[in-house]
Amino acid sequence: MNSSQKPQHSWAKFVKFVAVFALIVSGVAVFRSSRPEAQVNKQIGYEIVEPSHDYLWKNASISEIAEWAKRGNASAQGLLATMCLKGEKGALPNASLALEWGKKAAAQGDGPGAMVLYHIYNASTGISPQWKNPEEALRWLQVAADHDVTRAQVVLGLKYLFGLDGLKNDKAKAFSLFSKAAAIGDYDATFYMGECYANSWGVSPSPQMAIRYLSLAADADDNFFYKPEAQRKLAEAYKYGYGVSKDTQRAFEYFSKSAFLGDSTSQLSLAYAYETGEGVVQNSSAALVWLYVNRAGGGAASQETVNMFERSFDQNSLVKIREKAREIMQQIKANVVQSSTQNPAPIRPSGPKSSGTGVIISSSGLIVTAAHVVEGSSKVEVVLVDGPREASIVEIDSKNDLAILRVKGSDNPAAPLAASRDVKLGQPVFTIGFPNTDIQGASPKFTRGEISSVSGIRDEPTQWQISVPVQNGNSGSPLFDESGNVVGIVVSKLNAFETAKNTGDLIQNVNYAVKNAYLFPMLEKFSDKLEGPKKRGFFKKFESVVEDSKKSVVLILAY
């Protein structure tokens, strides 16, 4: 071979080497690009793999997560902090390590890492008193919310909504946070969006929007903390026609779903529906099943009610009914455990244990309500025109179910009082109150009717029977005559549940109000100036009377 052939041979080998090298490089590139976590390092021209939080959680072992955390990956650091805090994925619970990795992750802007710091510094979690620091907890909660951690947005929203942990009550801020979390798909936030639209919390009231968000929450595939409450409130909306057409069958369906998730109020509603045939075929044995379930779970069903229902069945039937109740209780227990494990509660605000209605009767702040609304409360708030204000209980008459409160600095006008002797059978009357505020909202509701009887149940002389429709939350509402004078205080309604059991008839609009004749003696000990009765002017429209009367009516919150 001569010298002129060597360069050609060498050149051919060089071309072949380049081709093979290019093939190898392209193969590596294809392999790397097929991995979804790959990112390009533009400075040095080759790819390095940075795994995402979801990839690490779903696919990586604890050792791999720890290795990435040591390399400085913020997602791995935040995940490792969470695992150490909760003892997940094989990690032993270790608050010190959780704090260490949480700080590293949060310093790089990792939302889950900031959420770990919130839990460690938060006083209510009880991880360790040495790290208790409310200011730091709130700071890192805000950081987590800013980085779209939906749990942080919901918790922070609730703190603004109820004015918790030193934050000023800011319902508009709460609505904004719930809106962000709901847009990302958090169902707890979706539920509270419905609450905001129902109660005018930071947004104009909209029954239709409230129903839209409650429906999204109630029909969610996943279990979450507020799901049974969303289902119950949607059921109540269908039952009462709030934002939707009345539909007792749909109401029954959602009460049933909520009851099987452990909601005690829905369980009683199911028992009522089965006994009365409201939205379902009447079935007294099914009603008793749910009374057993409710009572076993610590619900409000009384033993007297259970005993009354049991009298309709023989012992063999009762054995079967109790066995069915036990089966349902086991199913509920499994549902509740699964829900709490998958989706722990963000927080459960310590809201009022009950609510009712009151009426201001003096410019110096005397308020009348029903005794059962406020009895046993450690704190009572009255919602005035300028916001809620704490009130003191100054007099209670448990026998007649009346209570006198006092609040300072009220700008609401006082309602005039009229004597009971002037009230006649068949006389038109009306009331204004705050029924079912959790679903019907916090704006006052007007209903009207007549004096059906000059005595109450079993001819009780202290009360009138009235046909004015009332619901839960109307307790303590003033009963007005057509001139706007208070002639009594609404205190109760006939128990349709037990009456239906005894009579077979569903009683409607049988309600009771205490006469003013039993209120005036309570007021004699006070020196406050009271407004006397007024006559309605000939040209004054009834709508104007209602509008004037509304200004004296207040929402009562008992804690």
Name which residue leads in pLDDT, 441 or 66.
66
Q: CA-CA distance, 463 to 457, in Å (whole number)?
A: 8
User: Taking residues 180-187, what's their average pLDDT?
Assistant: 93
Coil, strand, or helix at residue 387? Answer: strand
| 91 pLDDT higher than 80 | no
- Could you say which of 3.20.20.150, 3.30.497.10, 1.25.40.10, 3.20.190.10 is the CATH number of the domain covering 31-147? 1.25.40.10
Number of C-beta neighbours around residue 268 at 10 A: 23
Q: What is the DSSP string of 129-185?
A: GGG--HHHHHHHHHHHHHTT-HHHHHHHHHHHHHT-TTPPP-HHHHHHHHHHHHHHT
Instruction: Find the range with the poorest average confidence among 64-78, 121-135, 164-178.
Output: 121-135
* pLDDT of amino acid 351: 60
Instruction: Find the range with the poorest average confidence among 146-155, 245-254, 457-466.
Output: 457-466
Question: Which long-range contacts (C-beta less than 8 Å, at least 24 apart) are formed by 166-169?
Answer: 166/134, 166/138, 167/138
Name which residue leads in pLDDT, 59 or 450.
450
Name which residue leads in pLDDT, 319 or 45.
319
Number of C-beta neighbours around residue 14 at 10 A: 10
pLDDT confidence band for 344 (50 / 70 / 90) = low
Q: What is the pTM of this model?
A: 0.64
pLDDT confidence band for 136 (50 / 70 / 90) = confident
Query: Which CATH code fits 222-350?
Result: 1.25.40.10
* pLDDT of amino acid 441: 62
| 459 pLDDT higher than 60 | yes
Instruction: Express each pLDDT in 364-416 by its tens digit.
Output: 889 999 998 898 888 888 888 766 788 899 999 988 999 999 988 777 899 99
Instruction: Express each pLDDT in 347-367 by its tens digit.
Output: 655 566 778 999 999 988 899
Indicate the class that CATH gives domain 354-558. mainly beta
pLDDT confidence band for 250 (50 / 70 / 90) = very high
Residue type, 258: S
Q: CA-CA distance, 276 to 294, in Å (whole number)?
A: 18
Q: Where in the chain is the domain with CATH 1.25.40.10?
A: 31-147, 222-350
User: Taking residues 441-462, what's their average pLDDT?
Assistant: 83
Instruction: Express each pLDDT in 48-74 by its tens digit.
Output: 567 777 777 778 888 888 888 898 888
| 507 pLDDT higher than 90 | no
Q: Where in the chain is the domain with CATH 2.40.10.120?
A: 354-558
| Cα–chain center distance at 107 | 34
Q: CA-CA distance, 263 to 294, in Å (whole number)?
A: 9
End-to-end CA distance of the chain, in Å?
Answer: 106
Name which residue leads in pLDDT, 393 or 299.
393
Of the chain, the percentage scoring pLDDT greater than 90 comes to 37
Contact between 205 and 441 under an 8 Å Cβ cutoff? The reply is yes
- Residue 178 tokens read as 């719930």
Which range in 178-187, 218-227, 503-512 is most confidently predicted, on average pLDDT?
Answer: 178-187
Which range in 1-5, 25-29, 43-47, 97-101 is most confidently predicted, on average pLDDT?
Answer: 97-101
Mean residue pLDDT of the chain comes to 82
Using CA atoms in the order 482, 484, 487, 491, what is the torsion angle rounded to 10 degrees?
100
* pLDDT of amino acid 378: 80
* pLDDT of amino acid 223: 82
* pLDDT of amino acid 319: 94
